Amino acid sequence: MGSSEDDKVVAVIMVGGPTKGTRFRPLSLNIPKPLFPLGGQPMVHHPISACKRIPNLAQIYLVGFYEEREFALYVSSISNELRIPVRYLREDKPHGSAGALYNFRDLIMEDNPSHIFLLNCDVCCSFPLPEMLDAHRNYGGMGTILVIKVSAESASQFGELVADPDTNELLHYTEKPETFVSDLINCGVYVFTPDIFNAIQGVSSQRKDRENLRRVSSFEALQSATRNLTTDFVRLDQDILSPLAGKKQLYTYETMDFWEQIKTPGMSLKCSGLYLAQFRLTSPNLLASGDGTKNATIIGDVYVHPSAKIHPTAKIGPNVSISANARIGAGVRLISCIILDGVEIMENAVVTNAIVGWKSSIGRWSRVQASSKYNYLM
């Protein structure tokens, strides 16, 4: 790969904006979705922490539509914690995932990276980024996509793809097909060489050329004024992955670990549990412990913020995350739940399969329990 400078890597994490991720409401009404806690850490913290494991990582960029002030405190905090520069870049208008990458290409290429990771914030997985990078270098292509096998019934909800079983080359890609194509799906995690910018520019140039060559009537000319706005809107899946499939440019790396999309509040509780379980391997210091003598009884994977106050007779876990300044009373039982900042749960209350919203209060002997769907007490 040449000198060590040539080996520098940057990561770009797409965080969306307030007009996107509406299915995550009401949890995203009070806080940007990427900052909602899963496993006691902001959602975006998990891919950022995974990027820390990439060799020669030079910079992490968060790209989205939120106001910069909403991310300023978190970006400063995580940069100091990981000792890696993290920067938030605000889009002025939607460009699509590939278009957004191209829009900030000068900043992304400041460190002259040899590789660029692109991740979606609302993906929950183990993020095997160093392994992906090794595989990508061996393939020698422009890009590598993280993929996973799912059931045939659920595959159509995602981008389905066909890969060569021997070389792992991407042969065919289609986004949310109406008929079954493959049980192999796109995980929304990628690594590219800087050649990706040429591919994106090529899509924009083709659109502009088509607009210039098209002979239009006065009505069509009026319509084309709107279409001209989309020449820099480039989708990664339909505009880049699909056309380049089968051209020895793109390859796949299959994960055998967990993967989920975090689209709804119910999924956030499931994904919080997945991240808590992963802490056993990656960050065991974040997990609470206790046997009911001096501290509460802890069962399974549990995160407790240092500022939370928990009575020693409480019984907590598995899959419980307790945020800052929460107060958990005597005899309380918590199972599979997320307790947000400032919550008070009084004596002998039981909370199961629920997300308890900021500064909520649950009275003595109360029972909050989901049936078929998760409860949200805001």
Contact 198, 219 (CB under 8 A): no
Is the distance from CB of 130 to CB of 54 less than 8 angstroms?
yes
Give the model's confidence band at 196: pLDDT under 50 very low, under 70 low, under 90 confident, else very high: very high
Tokens 């007779």 found at: 313
Give the model's pLDDT for residue 3.
39
Q: What is the mean pLDDT of residues 10-19?
A: 89
Q: How many other C-beta atoms are found inside a 10 Å radius of the C-beta of residue 284? A: 10
214 pLDDT more than 70:
no
pLDDT range class, residue 209, cuts 50, 70, 90: low
Cα–Cα nearest to 8, from 236, 195, 251, 193: 193
Cis, peptide link before residue 265, omega less than 30° from 0: no
CATH class of 9-265: alpha beta
> What are 224-240's pLDDT values in tens digits?
443 444 677 888 988 99
User: Which pLDDT score is estimated for 27?
Assistant: 82
Residue 4: pLDDT band by 50, 70, 90 thresholds? very low
Question: What dihedral do alpha carbons 233, 237, 239, 243 form, nearest 10°?
Answer: 170
Average pLDDT over residues 203-229: 55
Cis peptide before 318 (omega within 30 of 0): yes
User: Which pLDDT value is given to residue 30?
Assistant: 82
Report the pLDDT value the prediction gives residue 226, as an integer from 0 to 100.
37
Residue 212 pLDDT: 57
pLDDT at residue number 5: 44
User: Which range in 26-40, 159-173, 323-337 is most confidently predicted, on average pLDDT?
Assistant: 323-337
Which whole-number Å values give the CA distances from 190 to 12, 27, 110, 241, in the listed order?
A: 10, 28, 20, 11
The predicted-structure confidence for 76-101, as pLDDT tens digits, reads as follows: 999 999 899 999 999 988 888 898 99
pLDDT of 292-301, one tens digit each? 888 999 999 9
Burial of 318 by CB count in 10 Å (0-12 exposed, 13-18 middle, 19+ buried)? middle
Contacting residues for 172 by C-beta, under 8 A, at least 6 apart? 161, 162, 181, 182, 245, 246
CB 32 within 8 A of CB 15: yes
- The residue assigned the tokens 């990027």 is 51
What is the pLDDT averaged over residues 365-372?
Answer: 82
For domain 287-369, is the CATH number 2.160.10.10? yes
Tell me the C-alpha distance between 174 and 376, whole Å. Answer: 35
User: What is the three-class DSSP state of 48?
Assistant: helix
- Whether 1 has a pLDDT exceeding 50, the answer reads no
Domain ranges of the chain: 9-265, 287-369
For the segment 148-169, the average pLDDT, to the nearest whole number, is: 88
> Average pLDDT in the 338-346 region?
96
> For the ranges 96-100, 163-167, 190-194, 252-256, which has the lowest average pLDDT?
96-100
Q: Do domains 9-265 and 287-369 have the same CATH topology?
A: no
- Worst-scoring range by mean pLDDT, 198-202, 208-212, 234-238? 208-212
Looking at residue 272, its pLDDT comes to 96
The angle at the Cα of 156, spanning 150 to 160, to the nearest 5 degrees, equals: 70
